[in-house]
Amino acid sequence: MPGKPNVAVFDTTFGMAMEPYAYLYGIDPKYYEKYSIRRYGFHGTSHMFVSGETIKFGKLPEGNQRVIVCHLGNGASISASIGGKCVDTSMGLTPLEGLIMGTRSGDMDPAVVQTIANGENLTVDEVLTILNKKSGVAALSGVSSDFRDLEEAAAEGNERAQLALKAFKYRVIKYIGSYTAAMNGVDAITFTGGIGENDFSVRADVCKNLEYLGIKIDPEKNSVRGKKVQISTEDSKVKVFVIPTNEELAIARETVRVAGLA
C-alpha cells in the first residue's frame, strides 16, 4: 500500500513507563547496556486498554488513580498503574516471569534451571522449553492447562488439580498485595482475560483474601461472565470490576493517534 502510513504497536510499550528501580534486575548493569536485559512486561496492550477503561467505567476521581489489572488466561499477568501509567507488571524479559500460568512456570529460583539441566543432562534451551511449554498448572495438575478441566477435576476430588488451582490463586493474591504496597494503596482492581472475565470462582477466592483492604464482593454481580460490571458492593473501600479486554480496539486507537488520523 504505497503512500500509506505503517504503524507497529508493541505489546511491551505499556511497561516502558516503569522506573529503573522497577525494571532493572539485580545484576551488573553492563548486561542491560550490552543485551538490553530488563523487565519489559507483556500483555501491555491489554493492560493499557483495561486500566484506561477502569478509570472511565469506574468514574475514579481525576488524578493519580491507582489501578491493578489482573489479565488472567492461559497466559497471565498483573499490572499496577497510577493515572494510567505503568508502575510495575509481573512479566519480565520474557513472558515466563510472574504468575503460574497454563504451561509456564512463572517466578522461580534461576538455580532450578541449572539443577534440572545437570540432573537430566539437558541444555539450558531444553530446560527453558520445559518451563515455557510443559510446566504451570498443566504440569502441577497432570490434567490440563484449561481451567474448566481443572475445576471439574478438582470438584471430583483430584488433589493435584486442587493444588494447581490453589497455587495459581495464591500467586495472584501475592502480586495484588505487593502492588498495593508499591503504590501505597489501590483504588480499583479489575479482572480481564479468559479466566478473569469468565471464572467467577477465581475472582471470589482471590477477593476473599483481600478483605483486609476493605473489599466486599456482591455474589450476584460476580456471577456474570464476559460482561463489563462492578462486582464489589457500594460500601467496598476498593472498587472491583470485570472488564473484557479489547486489544484490537486498543491497537486501532493507537494507530489513529500515531498516524494523526483523529
- Annotated catalytic residues are 11
For strands 66-71 and 239-242, give the pairing: unpaired
Task: Give phi and psi for 241, each to the nearest 5.
Answer: -125, 160
Alpha carbon distance 50, 46 (integer Å): 6
Residue with cell 470490576: 241
Alpha carbon distance 171, 92 (integer Å): 16
Alpha carbon distance 195, 205 (integer Å): 13
Alpha carbon distance 76, 83 (integer Å): 22
Alpha carbon distance 38, 106 (integer Å): 16
Alpha carbon distance 136, 225 (integer Å): 24
Contact (CB, 8 A) for 44 and 10: yes
Nearest to 78 by CA among 213, 183, 221, 164: 183
Phi-psi region of 163 (alpha: psi -120 to 50; beta: other; left: phi over 0): alpha
Type of residue numbered 77: S
Contact (CB, 8 A) for 131 and 95: no
DSSP state of 105: -
